């Protein structure tokens, strides 16, 4: 076995077709179930975030605690919507489709990240991962994590025309206009709430319950959901655009993103199952020559 | 047409934000920390001057940072 530049490979004795067939057999085991835990996560997180407002305004919760909890809620807000973007909760035309769409729309409200914009841009990310011109997430690419945070802050500035702005401008997705309208409505709602807080003497509550947590949550998500799993983001292709990696802060705090490669290979496998699936896929993926930056079990 | 209106309103977003949110935020922060406004001005006037200026600069530069 060799390990150069994240490539751990064993000489493949099987044909591409045989490997494909084996991959599909494993993938099938993880497909098709409703990930109820993501439904509870998404809707529950939104309810907790919403409850912080009356708790803080009534004085039952100090503002500093509200700020910390709201930031945590914003960090947790994206992934349930991500499951909905891939129709993992319920496919189009099925009985529970309304739940899929509900989770998709509701869970990202704390982040002020409209579901349909997330969906359109995320489809492009999957189709063109690490492509300098066409991947909307390529803006998170950076040599170090702190450079990634800085580029994430710069990417959130009002005049930024790259990343998601560029993707939304250039997409021919039939839902584009609807997505832009929903984005405008969500941002207007966010601004209106801040405005009401500010002019009724609660500007600090608006700042610490929504504005700052929203930006901190987005920066955290870009770092661990986009930068880290794709780093160094200099290769394209099914088995090379995403990596398996070991997080210094653990699987839980990175919300399972160490196994993000499984998501890129089989986007309909629920997040909760990606770690288990990874270990089952690992021998095949090693033969495929994936980027595996996890420490070798033998310590090599 | 509707798209152009939305685009116009959004393009001036930093200024609306500076006046609508930053100004009262600055005033309330000054009050909370007992920082007196210069020249005996009300703190909200200081907030409006700083917030409007910051919003306008951010609109011109396309960036708050």
State how beta strands A7-9 and A2-4 pair: antiparallel
Look at the alpha carbons of A84, A122, A253, A236 in this order and tell me if their dihedral is positive or negative: positive
Within-domain flag for A115: yes
Within-domain flag for A80: yes
Secondary structure class of B9 (helix, strand, coil):
helix
Q: Give the pLDDT of residue A298.
A: 52
Identify the DSSP state of B19.
I
Within-domain flag for A267: no
Find the CB nearest A198 among B3, B24, B61.
Answer: B24
Alpha-carbon span A145 to A137, nearest angstrom: 15
Q: Give the pLDDT of residue A300.
A: 41
**Nearest alpha-carbon partner for A23 in A297, A296, A264:** A264
Check CB contact under 8 Å for B20 and A157: no
Residues A255-295: tens digit of each pLDDT: 999 999 999 999 999 999 999 999 999 999 999 999 999 98
Find the CB nearest B65 among A153, A187, A195.
Answer: A153
**Bigger pLDDT: B24 or A300?**
B24
Which residues in chain A show pLDDT less than 70? Answer: 1-12, 297-300
Within-domain flag for A8: no
Check CB contact under 8 Å for B21 and A203: yes
Within-domain flag for A9: no
Q: Which residues of B touch A198 (CB under 8 A)?
A: 20-21, 23-25, 28
Instruction: Tell me whether 0.90 is exceeded by the ipTM.
Output: yes
Alpha-carbon span A185 to A226, nearest angstrom: 26
Exposed e or buried b per residue across A137-147, where buried means at least 16 C-beta atoms within 10 angstroms of its C-beta: bbbbbbeeeee
Alpha-carbon span A71 to A90, nearest angstrom: 29
Residue of chain A nearest B13, judged by CA positions: A158
* Per-domain residue ranges of chain B: 2-61
User: Number of structural domains, chain A?
Assistant: 1
Range of the domain at A56: 32-227
Residues A211-235: tens digit of each pLDDT: 999 999 999 999 999 999 999 999 9
């Amino acid at each position: 076995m060799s390990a150069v530049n994240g490539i751990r490979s064993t000489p493949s004795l099987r044909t591409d077709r045989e490997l494909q067939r084996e991959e599909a057999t494993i993938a099938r085991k993880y497909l098709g179930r409703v990930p109820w835990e993501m439904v509870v996560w998404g809707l529950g997180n939104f309810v907790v975030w919403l409850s912080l407002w009356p708790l803080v305004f009534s004085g039952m919760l100090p503002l500093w605690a509200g700020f910390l909890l709201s930031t945590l809620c914003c960090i947790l807000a994206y992934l349930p919507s991500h499951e909905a973007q891939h129709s993992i909760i319920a496919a189009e035309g099925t009985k529970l489709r309304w739940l899929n769409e509900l989770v998709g729309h509701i869970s990202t409200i704390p982040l002020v990240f409209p579901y349909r914009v997330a969906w359109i841009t995320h489809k492009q990310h999957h189709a063109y991962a690490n492509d300098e011109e066409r991947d909307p997430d390529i803006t998170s690419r950076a040599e170090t994590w702190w450079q990634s945070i800085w580029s994430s802050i710069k990417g959130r500035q009002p005049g930024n025309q790259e990343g998601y702005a560029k993707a939304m401008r250039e997409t021919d997705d039939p839902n584009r206009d609807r997505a832009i309208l929903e984005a405008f409505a969500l941002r207007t709602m966010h601004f209106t709430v801040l405005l009401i807080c500010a002019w009724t003497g609660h500007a600090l509550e608006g700042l610490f319950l929504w504005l700052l947590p929203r930006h901190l949550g987005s920066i955290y998500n870009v770092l661990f959901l986009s930068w880290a799993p794709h780093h160094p983001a200099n290769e394209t292709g099914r088995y090379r655009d995403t990596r398996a990696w070991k997080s210094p802060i653990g699987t839980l705090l990175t919300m399972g993103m160490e196994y993000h490669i499984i998501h890129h290979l089989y986007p309909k496998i629920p997040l909760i199952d990606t770690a288990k699936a990874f270990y089952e896929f690992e021998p095949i993926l090693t033969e495929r020559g994936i980027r595996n930056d996890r420490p070798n079990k033998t310590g090599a | 047409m509707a798209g152009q209106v939305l685009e116009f309103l959004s393009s001036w977003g930093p200024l609306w934000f500076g006046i609508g949110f930053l100004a009262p935020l600055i005033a309330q922060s000054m009050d909370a920390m007992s920082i007196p406004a210069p020249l005996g001005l009300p703190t909200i006037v200081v907030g409006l001057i700083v917030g409007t200026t910051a919003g306008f600069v951010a609109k011109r530069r396309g960036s708050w940072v």
